[in-house]
Amino acid sequence: MPIFMDRHDVSESVTAEIVAQLHQEDLKIQHRYDCRGLTYWFDDIRKTAFCLVEAPDRDAIIQMHADAHGEVPHQIIEVDAAIVESFLGRIEDPAKAQDTKLNIINDPAFRTIMMVTIENHSFKISDPFSAFSNVQQYYKQILSILNTFNGNIVRQNKEGFLISFRTVQEAVLCALKIHENYRSSRTQYQIDFTELHIGLHAGIPVTNKKSIFEDTIKLAQRMCFVSIAAVVISTEVQQLFESENIGEDVNGTQFHVLTPREEKFLTSLMEFTEKEWQNPELKVEDFEINIGISKSKLYREMIRLTGKSPNVFLLHFRLRKSLRLLQKQKGNVSEVAYNSGFNSPSYYTKCFRKKYRIMPSELVQL
């Protein structure tokens, strides 16, 4: 049977004890609707509660809540139990809570999400990258750092790490340590063809999107396209960190705090790029029209945030996507070229070789 997570937006008067009582009422009648309440989370600060329920469908959950106490959810999404556990640390009630009559669980589902990417600009075997010739080797170092700061790995692949943290402080300090360790390795091994990017955002698991933490994950991923600093954080993360660490701030050369205005621009830019990057007819003018700004402002903002002009940004985005297609063997070089928005396989090969120091046909053979 599928598993769902719902969100309840509660009033200021609702407490953890009240939420625990409502959860117990659900458990009393859940069998009538073929449901099984696995656990719940309550955030007293943001006044949100989340239930994890095994059920035949969404309607069964709504009917169970309505019958038990009348507090129907505001949003329901289907989730994967393993993913939920990766983000939130559990899919059942904690052992200590199970031993109590009321089962009060003081655990908000609010999490800080980190995206870590290391973009490799060269795949030449002859490059002097020593033990770090494979970027995955560096990822092993990141694993030990994550353990120190209690980071839960949600996903790890060639594109990087997606990590969940219970506290903003651990996430920020972990990002700083990863950056410092990477910078030290670059200096020691004289590496000049990789780039580390870290994005940090915080949020709740269920919004109006279809998947868990979707809004938070997307912004953290998009922050990795910002080149002002190695670590980019949202304004919310900054405010939370500074509220928990009076007298300390995250401004400086290692961090860039994404302002609401920058976040809006980045979101518009990435949403349009992600939608249209395979379109060979795509032009800079299309970015201007869809984002709603002038050509000069588009250029200034993109240079400032990404370090690239609109044309170069689109080219590198397409090459990055094509690299993943080649690595996943999603077609031959010509097919990948056309599927990545290039009109000419020869021009694609030229651009690919310039960026990655290797022919795409050679990469396929590695």
CB 91 within 8 A of CB 85: yes
Please report which confidence band the pLDDT of residue 99 belongs to, taking 50, 70 and 90 as the band edges.
very low
What are the structure tokens assigned to 341, written together? 């928005």
Predicted local confidence at residue 273, as pLDDT: 97
Contacts of 301 (CB under 8 A, 6+ apart): 265, 293
Average pLDDT of span 69-90: 96
Spatial CA neighbour of 164 closest among 216, 96, 206: 216
Surface-to-core class of residue 272, CB atoms within 10 Å of its CB (0-12 exposed, 13-18 middle, 19+ buried):
middle
Is the pLDDT confidence value at 95 over 90?
no
Question: 125-141, pLDDT tens digit by residue?
Answer: 655 444 445 566 677 88
Length of the chain: 366
Question: 180-212, pLDDT tens digit by residue?
Answer: 888 887 777 666 778 889 999 999 999 999 999
**How crowded is residue 17: how many other Cβ atoms within 10 Å of its Cβ?**
11
Sheet-wide strand order for 36-43:
36-43, 48-54, 3-9, 75-79
> What are the backbone dihedrals phi and psi of residue 156, each rounded to the nearest 5 degrees, phi first?
-140, 125
Q: What CA–CA distance (Å, rounded) separates 355 from 323?
A: 11
Predicted local confidence at residue 127, as pLDDT: 55
Average pLDDT of span 251-278: 92
HEC states along 229-245? CCEEEEHHHHHHHHHHC
Predicted local confidence at residue 359, as pLDDT: 92
Q: What is the pTM of this model?
A: 0.91
> What are the backbone dihedrals phi and psi of residue 76, each rounded to the nearest 5 degrees, phi first?
-135, 135
Beta pairing class for 160-165 and 152-157: antiparallel
Predicted local confidence at residue 96, as pLDDT: 57
Q: For a pLDDT cut of 90, what percent of the chain falls above it? A: 74
Please report which confidence band the pLDDT of residue 298 belongs to, taking 50, 70 and 90 as the band edges.
very high
Question: 137-158, pLDDT tens digit by residue?
Answer: 677 888 999 999 999 999 988 7
Question: 301-349, pLDDT tens digit by residue?
Answer: 999 999 999 999 999 999 999 999 998 888 899 999 999 999 999 999 9
State the chain's mean pLDDT as an integer: 90
Residue 104 is which amino acid? I
Beta pairing class for 231-234 and 255-258: parallel
Please report which confidence band the pLDDT of residue 257 belongs to, taking 50, 70 and 90 as the band edges.
very high
Cα separation values, 33 from 22, 56, 63, 77, 242, Å: 16, 8, 8, 18, 46
CB 50 within 8 A of CB 205: yes
Please report which confidence band the pLDDT of residue 57 belongs to, taking 50, 70 and 90 as the band edges.
very high
